[in-house]
Amino acid sequence: MKLGRGLWRALTTIAAFFGFALLYLPLFAVAVYSFNAAERGLLWTGFSVRWYLDLFADPETNRRALEIREVAVNTLMLGGASTLIATVLGTLLALGMHFPWPTSVSRVLESIVDIPAVAPDITFAAVLVMAFNVLRRVVDHWFEPSMTTMIIGHVTFEIAFVTLIVRSRLIAIGPTLSEAAMDLYASPWIHFRRVTLPLLWPAIVGGAMLAFTLSLNDFVISFFTSGPRSVTLPLYVYQSQMRGVRTDLFAISTLLLIGVAVSIVLLERLTRWRHN
């Protein structure tokens, strides 16, 4: 019996290390090769911080640095704007779905929310292209491929994930605390601000983090909705792949990874502080 437990513990430990290796070894490789002296490719020719210095070089003398900065700014703008909108709308949608709707209506609402989360990206992108084509005939120039259409496209699938996370939290909380607040004559606004919102805060932050990550990683929907001046990092890497990925892309990717990691730590600390 003890031998069986020991073997099971060893197997689970090995599986855990293997899973973490699959998750983090590619990120570690990107960080390592960002210090490669070679301009292109994966052949290690020596250690250099040149590519990090080039990212902050004078754009008048280094056109490449200006391009990468614009790509990074577009990526962060798209992720930040779509995350903010999707978090607000997704939270409101979760609160609306939590009302005591009839069972048939509740099932329809759940299906509507689930579809964007499980639909293939290519199908969703094609639908967005068709929708923007129709809207351009009604409202000229407003829905041309640009950062605006990219934000709309990202919001449409991010809302589903935020809603699912926040609604799961609402179900876990249950009606007990809400009923206690109403028994103490709390107004609807006080009830929401002092009871519901603090309890939902971890789920809202979690949904926002997931939405931001999905936006940073997205390629298909960005590819179908982007314009000539709204290229993001995934699109830029794809375009560079034809000529061989340059090392400065590893550098900017590493900086974005560090920024996201720091943001996650800060948000986690903020969530714990508000929860306590």
pLDDT digits (tens, 9 = 90+) for 169-226: 888 887 777 767 776 767 777 777 777 788 888 889 889 989 998 998 889 999 999 8
- Tell me 119's DSSP state: S
- Tell me 246's DSSP state: B
Per-residue model confidence as pLDDT tens digits over 115-127:
888 888 888 888 8
C-alpha to C-alpha distances, 138 to 57, 134, 135, 142, 145, nearest whole angstrom: 44, 7, 5, 9, 15
Is 275 a residue whose pLDDT tops 70?
Answer: no
Other residues' Cβ atoms within 10 Å of the Cβ of residue 248: 22
How far is residue 10's CA from residue 16's CA, in Å, rounded to a whole number? 10
Number of H helices, E strands in the chain: 12, 0
Is 2 a residue whose pLDDT tops 60?
Answer: no
Is 128 a residue whose pLDDT tops 70?
Answer: yes
Per-residue model confidence as pLDDT tens digits over 43-68:
788 888 888 888 877 766 667 777 88
pLDDT greater at residue 162 or residue 189: 162
Is 137 a residue whose pLDDT tops 70?
Answer: yes
Residue 89 confidence class, pLDDT cut points 50, 70, 90 = very high
- What is the arithmetic mean of pLDDT over 70-99? 90
How far is residue 157's CA from residue 120's CA, in Å, rounded to a whole number? 11
Q: Which two tokens stand for residue 65?
A: 């640095």
State which of 9-13, 51-55, 212-216, 252-256 shows the largest mean pLDDT: 212-216
Is the pTM higher than 0.85? The answer reads: no
How far is residue 248's CA from residue 250's CA, in Å, rounded to a whole number? 5
State which of 165-169, 183-187, 257-261 shows the largest mean pLDDT: 165-169
Residue 274 confidence class, pLDDT cut points 50, 70, 90 = low
Other residues' Cβ atoms within 10 Å of the Cβ of residue 37: 13
pLDDT greater at residue 105 or residue 19: 19
- What is the arithmetic mean of pLDDT over 86-98? 90
Residue 97: per-residue pLDDT: 85
Residue 151 confidence class, pLDDT cut points 50, 70, 90 = very high
